Amino acid sequence: MTQREPVCTTRQGAVRGRLTASGAAAFLGIPYAAAPRFAPPVAPGPWEGIRDAVTYGPTAPKVPYPPPFDALIPEDSIPGDDFLNLNVWTPSPGPGGGLPVLVWLHGGAFANGSGSSPAYAGDAFARDGVVCVTLNYRLGAAGFLHLDGVPDNRGLLDQIAALTWVRDNIAAFGGDLDRVTVCGESAGAMSIGVLLAMEEARGLFRRAILQSGGAHHFLRPASARLITARLAEKLSLAEPTHEAFASVPLPELLDSQGELRGEIGARPHPDLWGEAALNMMPFEPVTEGLRLPEPDCGVDLLVGSNREEYRLFLVPTGRLDVLPEPRLRAVAEAYGLDPDKALPVYREARPGAVAGEILDAVTTDWFYRIPAIRLAEAVPGSYMYEFALRSPSFGGRLGACHGSELAYVFDNPREPGYAQLTGHSPPQAVADAMHGAWVAFATTGDPGWSRYEAAGSRTTMIFDEESGAVDDPRPAERELWDGVR
């Protein structure tokens, strides 16, 4: 065994990793659970000898992103059944390191993504003294379809199983099990928003960072049953039971999932889809209603969003410039706003903006910014941020869109998978500021600026070419949502 073959011992057995070019020890594809179809995860079995952990393991089955998003968002697919696996990067393999731990939950609308994308490599966190863990969890129907007789939210149960593995094993990789930060973006952050109120997750993490997602995206059981019934109809199932769905060949199930997503986008009517008609995600956590964490939940929070999130879905598709005014008004009304009162407020700060640009501002608030604010308000002492760096892509119109912060969080701005979002000359100073804040928060619980005070300054760090904290950005727009969202 050479110095390029670090070995750590888990409760299931020893694993052999490799050293990366940056000097971190990487252990890839470690199984943390097994996934019986439509059943809760079960603990992995032990192995004898030393298991190689030098390449990424299989990824959860999924439907590829449709164009044009397949070219914009990093996505990989590795076949295999043992896809409930995780990856660890550490600067100090072996017990006794006492290092903070960051566990990453990927996004992808609960239907795409993986922890195995090179865009999520944890070398920079390890370089800066943080043990980084990324993982896969069940997606789509396997993870989130509501089925009588089996537990809901199997994808969340997978995440809890991974966090339990971290609690039981991370000390062997140099981590401090009392300083675990769970971090996620989009569906990963929305997952954390639900985990914060789940008893099963209590005590598994000390801190949480939620990027572009909060606790507001879920399906009530009645809406979830509409999704299940429509998917069963598409598959010609006599009854929407878990036994019937389990009998469907996986490729056929995945194809129908993809078609279902397209149907919601084409006919976003609440009578057909319930809550999914607003966010067009057929697979989400199923809960009885909004559950914000208790003020004394025992978890430090850093939450935020990107300034122009929804441009990711408007600019590449060409919808930004052709969206009609009646559609803007209908969306604002569906979100609970009075268009006659709310739209002038948004237009005042954006003189000359077309309807699509105002839709981006309204939808960004409904989908991302207001849920982040509600979390910060619910847990006193939280920290708030906004990512405002505008991408040069699409002639500069893509803006500070959904997902464009990821390259900077991972201090990997020149990773080719990010180029479509960041452009080809991303500013390293923004990565230094944002990645540095995440490292500081995981290490000490303080990212480097003042806490968010709902009754006071509402301090918000703005990450841009020149980053700095401001008090209560865009208060008039925020106040439109009081009592609405």
Pure H helices in 181-266: 187-195, 221-234, 242-246, 250-266
CA distance 253 to 246: 9
Q: Per the residue annotation, which of 114, 116, 186, 256 is the catalytic one?
A: 186
Peptide bond into 68 cis (omega under 30): yes
Q: What is the dihedral of CA 50, 55, 59, 63, to 10 degrees?
A: -160
CA 3 to chain centre: 35
Q: Per the residue annotation, which of 309, 357, 386, 415 is the catalytic one?
A: 309
Does residue 217 have an active-site annotation? no
Query: Closest by alpha carbon to 442, among 212, 205, 158, 190?
Result: 205
Collapsed DSSP state (helix, strand, coil) of residue 24: coil
Contact indicator for 217, 283 with CB cutoff of 8 Å: no
Two structure tokens written together for 443: 């290490």
Q: What is the DSSP letter of 219?
A: B
Residues recorded for the chain: 485
Two structure tokens written together for 223: 């809406």
CA distance 310 to 61: 26
CA distance 124 to 143: 30
Does residue 466 have an active-site annotation? no
Q: Per the residue annotation, which of 402, 404, 435, 467 is the catalytic one?
A: 402
Two structure tokens written together for 477: 């727009």
Q: Residue 342 belongs to what H/E stretch?
A: helix 339-348
Contact indicator for 268, 277 with CB cutoff of 8 Å: yes
**What are the angstrom distances between the C-alpha of 88 and each of 61, 85, 139, 159?**
22, 10, 21, 15
CA distance 458 to 369: 13
Residues serving a catalytic function are 186, 309, 402
